[in-house]
Amino acid sequence: MIAIIDYGVGNLFSLRSSFAAIGQDAVVTSDIEEIRRADRLILPGVGAFQDAAEKLRASGMDKAVKEETAKGKPLMGVCLGMQMLFERSYEYGEHEGLGLLKGEIRPIAERIPEGLKIPQMGWNALRIVKDSPLLKYTRKGEYVYFVHSYSAVNCEESLLAVTEYGADLTACVGCGNVFGCQFHPEKSGEVGLRILKAFCEIGGNA
To the query of whether residue 95 is one of the catalytic residues in this protein, the response is no
Strands of the sheet containing 26-29, edge to edge, are 26-29, 2-5, 40-43, 75-78, 178-181, 168-175, 159-164, 127-128
To the query of whether residue 79 is one of the catalytic residues in this protein, the response is yes
Q: What distance in Å separates the CA atoms of residue 66 and residue 203, rounded to the nearest whole number?
A: 17
Q: Considering Cα of 184, then 87, then 139, then 3, what sign does the dihedral take?
A: negative
Q: What distance in Å separates the CA atoms of residue 189 and residue 177, rounded to the nearest whole number?
A: 24
Q: Which one of the listed residues 79, 172, 181, 200 is annotated catalytic?
A: 79
Q: What distance in Å separates the CA atoms of residue 59 and residue 32, rounded to the nearest whole number?
A: 9
Q: Any residues with CB less than 8 A from the CB of 8 and at least 6 apart, and which?
A: 55, 59
Q: Which one of the listed residues 91, 95, 184, 200 is annotated catalytic?
A: 184
To the query of whether residue 34 is one of the catalytic residues in this protein, the response is no
Q: Which one of the listed residues 68, 91, 104, 186 is annotated catalytic?
A: 186
182, amino acid identity: Q
164 strand-pairing partners: 168
The catalytic residue positions are: 79, 184, 186
